[in-house]
Amino acid sequence: MIMLVKRPTPSIFWSWATPVIAVLATMIAGGVLFAALGKNPLDAIRTIFWDPILGPNAGYFRGQLLVKAGPLILIASGLAVGFRAGIWNIGAEGQYIMGAIAGAAVALAAYPAESVLLFPTMVIVGGLGGWAWAMIPALLKNRFGTSEILVSLMLVYVAQNLLAYMAFGPLKNPQGFGFPGSRNLQQYASAHNPELIARTGMHWGVVAAFIAVIATYVLMARHIAGFRIRVAGDAPKAARFAGVAPTKMVVFCLGLSGALAGLAGLFEVSGPSGQITDSFNAGYGFTAIIVAFLGRLHPVGILLAGLIMALTYIGGDSAQLSLGLPAAAIQVFQAMLLFFLLGFDFLTNYRVKLKGTRA
């Protein structure tokens, strides 16, 4: 008979081994999925994980790796801080959208004026847009005790509708021949977020992601606020006795994650995406949740996990084109990663024991 025995303390080895096992299990299960769709599983896995790095067109794909990883790492860094405190912001996608709308609105309101102050202003307003959207679940939780999980998630759908309204209404390009969508900010020099190094994918959003990794590491490992956050997540009652105010913790964690998500949206709309459209949101806010847990809520782990998830985005797009895989299959493949991560995570707190049974 198989029994699960609770460990006296969480296993450090399994805590870090679980993400590796989850990736391997995802490859195996994904191979079965691709085979069921009539595709060669080895070709599919190679196309997703190998070709973007060492394949014939690896030079182009490596440049796209940072473009995809930047917003994932930036958003996941903020989410991880809240998750460590037991504050669950599931609506980063909505905050990402609102940051993009707010920042783009500043640029479009100033068009066609050129100024070196325009882009920094967009960055500030984009961060504030995400922060303000995150304050809605924070204030409702503190005032009425509502669940930040449900409120932040429902606000994603509100943000998506606001995005469509802006693309078809106030931010619509007056010279766009009636098509929905704003002006292209890539053609507006003062509002553009260009590559800093040609063909590398490095732009200011990627720089901000690396800064966020360093800053959250310092916060969580070297600052008293990080200690309070960890205590609030591990022992809420002890945190209250230690003088940690739950309401302030909710505002801080949701505000930080919302601001970073808003920045990710601003850097995306002013750079790789270029404009506000009704299909601007690419699911980065939801995928960042997988990145945060795959990285074990640790800044360095999030950096590596962001690169892995970005690889599945790039390799998945390549597999759709070269192998004819449906987009839904790639999304299921990415979701498997979180499924197996959570499934194997029990090994951190439990060990498997075989116990003989009597006749």
Instruction: List the CATH number of the domain containing 308.
Output: 1.10.3470
- Which region holds residue 159: left if phi is over 0, alpha if psi is between -120 and 50, else beta? alpha
**What total number of domains does the chain contain?**
1
CB-count burial class (<10 Å; 0-12, 13-18, 19+) for 316: buried
Cα–Cα dist 306/292, whole Å: 8
Asked if residue 160 belongs to a domain, the reply is yes
What pLDDT score does 359 carry?
A: 45
Q: For residue 286, what pLDDT is reported?
A: 94
DSSP string, 74-133: HHHHHHHHHHHTT-----HHHHHHHHHHHHHHHHHHHTT---TTHHHHHHHHHHHHHHHH
Range of the domain at 289: 73-315
Does residue 116 lie in a domain region? Answer: yes
Q: Answer yes or no: is 95 within a domain.
A: yes
Using DSSP's 3-state secondary structure scheme, residue 169 falls into coil
- Whether 226 is covered by a domain: the verdict is yes
CB–CB of 98/176 below 8 Å?
no
- What does the pLDDT read at residue 130? 98
Q: What is the mean pLDDT of residues 318-334?
A: 90
pLDDT tens digits for range 136-188: 999 999 999 999 999 999 999 999 999 999 999 999 999 988 889 999 999 99
Q: Measure the CA angle with vertex 31, ends 29 and 33; round to 5°.
A: 70
- pLDDT average, residue stretch 83-112: 96
Structure tokens at 340: 């197996």
- Check residue 273 and give its pLDDT: 93
Question: Is residue 162 assigned to a domain?
Answer: yes
Q: What is the dihedral of CA 215, 218, 219, 220, to 10 degrees?
A: 120
User: Does any domain span residue 202?
Assistant: yes
Average pLDDT over residues 334-353: 86
Q: Which amino acid is at 52?
A: P
Cβ atoms within 10 Å of 4's Cβ, excluding its own? 12
Q: What is the pLDDT of residues 56-76, one digit of tens each?
A: 777 777 778 999 999 999 999
Inform me whether the pLDDT recorded for 202 exceeds 50: yes
Residue 27 inside a domain? The answer is: no
Instruction: Answer yes or no: is 186 within a domain.
Output: yes
Angle at 171 between CA 168 and CA 173, to 5 degrees: 80
Span 219-223, average pLDDT = 93
